[in-house]
C-alpha cells in the first residue's frame, strides 16, 4: 500500500508534543513501517530589535498542523487520530482523510528551512517592530546621526525607506533595518 502525506490538525502550540507522542505511539504499536515520517513545517525568522540587535528564531509555518507520511489503514488512522492533542485530519472526504499530492507537499516544504523532497534551501524572513510614520535616527553608515521618518518597511529584504532632511529637503533613502533605531 502507498504511503502519502496527510495533514493532521492539532491544538495550537501542541505540534511538538503531538509529534513526540505520536513517535512513541508508533513504536508502541509497532507501526514504524506504516507511519514513516512526521514533519512540522517551520521557517527561520530574523527579528531586528531595538538598536539593530538581530534575534533569530524558528516559527511554525502552519501553527496547529503536523504532516504525517503513512499508509492509511484503520490501525494507522486510529493511532494518529487518538494521539493526545490531535483534533483530526484536515481535508477529510466523508470519513476518509484526503492526502497531499507530492507537489503540494513540496510547495509546503519549500517554505521551510528543513530539507524537503527537493532539498529546499534555508530561507530567512525578517520581522521588525518598525512601522511607517515612526521617527528614527540613523545609527550607522554615511548618513549616521540624521533623523527621519519611515515611509515604508520592507521585511522581506530587511530594509526600510526613510525620508531624511538633507540640506533642508526631504530625501528618500533606503537603509537596512540595523542602520536605524527609533527615537523615543
The CATH number given to whatever domain includes residue 30 is 3.30.70.940
Does 36 map to a domain?
Answer: yes
**Within this chain, do residues 28 and 90 fall inside the same structural domain, yes or no?**
yes
Does 171 map to a domain?
Answer: yes
Does 118 map to a domain?
Answer: no
Domain span holding position 83: 4-113
What are the angstrom distances between the C-alpha of 81 and each of 72, 78, 104, 114?
12, 5, 22, 25
Does 127 map to a domain?
Answer: no
**Within this chain, do residues 145 and 69 fall inside the same structural domain, yes or no?**
no
Give the number of domains in the chain: 2
**Within this chain, do residues 85 and 20 fall inside the same structural domain, yes or no?**
yes
* pLDDT reading at 118 higher than 50: no
**Within this chain, do residues 19 and 97 fall inside the same structural domain, yes or no?**
yes
Handedness of CA 82, 61, 127, 161 (dihedral sign): negative
Weakest-pLDDT range from 60-69, 85-94, 112-121: 112-121
Does 69 map to a domain?
Answer: yes
- pLDDT tens readout for residues 40-73: 988 877 777 666 677 788 888 888 999 999 999 9
**Within this chain, do residues 102 and 140 fall inside the same structural domain, yes or no?**
no
Q: Is the CB of residue 111 less than 8 Å from the CB of residue 94?
A: no
* pLDDT reading at 25 higher than 90: yes
Does 128 map to a domain?
Answer: no
Of 2, 3, 17, residue with least CA distance to 69: 3
**Within this chain, do residues 167 and 84 fall inside the same structural domain, yes or no?**
no
Does 33 map to a domain?
Answer: yes
- pLDDT tens readout for residues 76-85: 999 999 999 9
Does 129 map to a domain?
Answer: no
Which phi-psi region, left, alpha or beta, contains residue 181 (left: φ > 0; alpha: ψ -120 to 50)? beta
How many of the other CB atoms lie within 10 Å of CB of 76?
Answer: 20
How many of the other CB atoms lie within 10 Å of CB of 110?
Answer: 15
Three-state DSSP at 7 gives: strand
Average pLDDT, whole number, for the chain? 84
Domain boundary among the residues 79, 113, 147 is at 113
* pLDDT reading at 110 higher than 80: no
**pTM for this structure?**
0.61
The CATH number given to whatever domain includes residue 145 is 2.30.30.30
Residue 112 is predicted with a pLDDT of 63
Amino acid at each position: 500500500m502507498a504511503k502519502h502525506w496527510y495533514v493532521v490538525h492539532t491544538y495550537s502550540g501542541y505540534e511538538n508534543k503531538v509529534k513526540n507522542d505520536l513517535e512513541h505511539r508508533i513504536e508502541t504499536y509497532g507501526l514504524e513501517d506504516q507511519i514513516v515520517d512526521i514533519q512540522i513545517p517551520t521557517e527561520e525568522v530574523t527579528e531586528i530589535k531595538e538598536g539593530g540587535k538581530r534575534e533569530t528564531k524558528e516559527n511554525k509555518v502552519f501553527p496547529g498542523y503536523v504532516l504525517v507520511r503513512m499508509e492509511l489503514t484503520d490501525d494507522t488512522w486510529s493511532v494518529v487520530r487518538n494521539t493526545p492533542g490531535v483534533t483530526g485530519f484536515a481535508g477529510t472526504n466523508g470519513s476518509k482523510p484526503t492526502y497531499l499530492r507530492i507537489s503540494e507537499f513540496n510547495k509546503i516544504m519549500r517554505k521551510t528551512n528543513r530539507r524537503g523532497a527537493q532539498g529546499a534551501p534555508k530561507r530567512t524572513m525578517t520581522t521588525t517592530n518598525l512601522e511607517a510614520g515612526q521617527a528614527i535616527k540613523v545609527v550607522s553608515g554615511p548618513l549616521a546621526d540624521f533623523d527621519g521618518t519611515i515611509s515604508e518597511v520592507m521585511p522581506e529584504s530587511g530594509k526600510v525607506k526613510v525620508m531624511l532632511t538633507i540640506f533642508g529637503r526631504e530625501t528618500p533613502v533606503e537603509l537596512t533595518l540595523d542602520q536605524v533605531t527609533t527615537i523615543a
